[in-house]
Amino acid sequence: MARKFFGTDGIRGRTNEGVMTAEIAMKVGQAAGTHFLRGGHRHRVVIGKDTRLSGYMMESALVAGFTSVGMDVIMTGPLPTPAIALLTREMRADLGVMISASHNPFEDNGIKLFGPDGFKLSDEAEMAIETLIAQEPLLVSPDRIGRARRIDDASGRYIHAVKQSVASDIRFDGLKVVVDCANGAAYKVAPAAIWELGADIVTMGVEPDGTNINRDVGSTSLDAIKARVVEEEAHIGIALDGDADRLIVIDEKGRTVDGDQIMGLIASRLHDRGDLKGGGVVATVMSNLGLERYLEGQGLTLERTKVGDRYVLERMKQGGFNVGGEQSGHMILTDHGTTGDGTVAALRVLASLVRSGKPASELLHVFDPVPQLLKNVRYSGGKPLENESVKAVIAEAEKELEGKGRLVIRPSGTEPVIRVMAEGDDAAQVEQVVDRICDAVREAA
Distance CA 292, CA 352 (A): 21
Distance CA 364, CA 245 (A): 20
Q: Which residues contact 90 (CB under 8 A, 6 or more apart)?
A: 157
User: How far, CA to CA in Å, does 423 sit from each of 166, 255, 300, 429?
Assistant: 35, 21, 21, 9
Distance CA 22, CA 7 (A): 18
Question: Is 245 labelled as part of a ligand binding site?
Answer: yes
Q: Answer for the pair 222, 250: CB distance below 8 angstroms, yes or no.
A: yes
Q: Which residues contact 383 (CB under 8 A, 6 or more apart)?
A: none
User: Among 68, 100, 102, 219, which one carries the catalytic annotation?
Assistant: 102
Question: Is 216 labelled as part of a ligand binding site?
Answer: no
| Long-range CB contacts for residues 17-22, cutoff 8 Å, separation at least 24 | 20/54, 20/58, 20/108, 20/109, 20/110, 22/57, 22/58, 22/60, 22/61
Q: Which residues contact 143 (CB under 8 A, 6 or more apart)?
A: none
Distance CA 44, CA 186 (A): 24
What letter does residue 100 receive in the DSSP assignment? -
Distance CA 362, CA 330 (A): 22
Active site residue 102: yes
Binding residues for Mg(2+), by number, are 102, 241, 243, 245
Binding residues, by number, are 102, 241, 243, 245
Residues labelled catalytic: 102
